[in-house]
Structure 1
Amino acid sequence: MQSTTAALWIVATPIGNLGDFSDRARRTLNDVALIAAEDTRHSARLTRHLGIDTPMMSLHEHNEGARIDTIVERLAAGDSVALISDAGTPLISDPGYALVGAVRAAGYAVLAVPGACAAIAALSIAGLPSDRFVFEGFLPSKATARRSRLAELADESRTLIVYESSHRIERCVRDMGEVLGAGRRIGLCRELTKLHEQSVLLEAEALAGWLAEDDNRRRGEFVLVVEGAPEASRERGEIDLDALLGELLALTGTKQAAKAAARLTGRATNEIYARALELAAAD
């Protein structure tokens, strides 16, 4: 280990209300020799508000690799450095992973000043199980890749946390309904800690409709907290599904039968629809 007391501080910043900034975080940013920020223009507003004049450099996804040597050199000179993102906890769907790894490899301490994290804040208010959860970050932006990833997650029994942008939120929720099941519950948290904060817990199909009703509901930054697949549904055999689909197909069309079966079993709609087509063709 290096003998220096210099350290890299990972400092969480508010995700909305600047009043959420802790005294410890304020002191840390004031005391370090350099702040590495995802967007210096954005972070400059924060430091001005706090009366902090610590020098700042940018560190984002496009230049992180080039900044590592500079920061390690500052640490070697005895300077401590703080890493902040635009909002929330650095490295959580934000830059910093490569830097932290390099600093640890160089033998310097990495210390946390914990605070806001949109994923955990959303989990705490969604009304879904919080004892076991999976953070997925941002799903793929392309529809085919997004649906493919959702299909891989369809049988995950733990609560799933996803970030999404305003221009994809409606399509993402509709894909969740189609792939995970129309009855899968989703907690949508929008603009957490900000003036227009809003959260609802609805089944996927109802949530898609809720978003479509008002343009304002599709604005801002989103966290989706998705109910895990029911354990019982994961244990169902094909015979149970075939029997259920047989009853439903006798009453309604293939698409409607698949949607109903998805709601009742918690299984992926596209999987059930494919099986329903096979059964309908067999008849």
Structure 2
Amino acid sequence: MAELAVSVRPLGVLAAEVRKGLLTQLAHPLGHVVGLVVGMGMYLGLQFVMGQGALRADLLPPTLVGICAYWFLQYSAMVMVADLVEEKRGGTFAQSQMSPAPAWLLMSGRLLTAAMFGLVIAIAAAAVPATIAGITVEWRSSVIVPAVLLVLDSLAFTFVLAAVALRTPMVGALQSLLTALILLLNGAFLPLALYPDWLAAVARLLPTTLGIEAVGQALFGGLSLAELWSTGALPWLAAHTAVLAVGGGLLFAHNHRRAVRDGRLGQY
């Protein structure tokens, strides 16, 4: 009967996970507000420095796409990783695994929470600097596919981090290091076209970079989906997303199975 109940109520499980995740994040909103204000101030300050005392119209639009992607990655990773670590320490994660709902469904709810919360933060974090600088971007329908892939690529990366979090609480240090590296190289401060070729190649291996590049080509270059595909932007982005998603899924399944076997779901 339990299996039957789960099979006909997946939306209920997802809704419960999303509600729990959002309530956790919104319990202390001041911390998020302060972090966003400081982050937006740093972004505008660095753009002011690189523009030699002015906010350059040629640099701000493409870097806004990069900083938007970074904020989405940062806050979705917070939901996926920090909350998971705290739940493991408190024992609530182990309790949730006693539910008849499969682990993949519970983690799907966590991913959905990460996507919702991350998108709200990212849009706000990009809209405020855009308003201050008076930037307007012409909407193009060709941006939808690369933007969706950019979101999926970021979420796949956070799932890899969540898989690591099942094994060690030190994942926080790894997350901070990787997100800082992504922020420096993904085009949030300087467009990728201005990088040396070797550094641009390294940057494209990181999450979000290929997505930012594809979105920028669609928004500012006017490329259609067919042209994005012919340039290699979409195939490489799709491949990057698939590798992260499959790798994260396999790693999570392995670490979860090992934690269940060793009785360490509720501890490190």
TM bin, normalised by shorter chain, reads: under 0.3
Q: Which has the higher Rg, Structure 1 or Structure 2?
A: 1
Instruction: Identify which of structures 1 and 2 has the higher relative contact order when contacts are C-alpha pairs closer than 8 Å and 6+ apart.
Output: 2
TM-score with structure 1 setting the length: 0.24
Name the structure where helix makes up a greater proportion of residues: 2
TM-score with structure 2 setting the length: 0.25
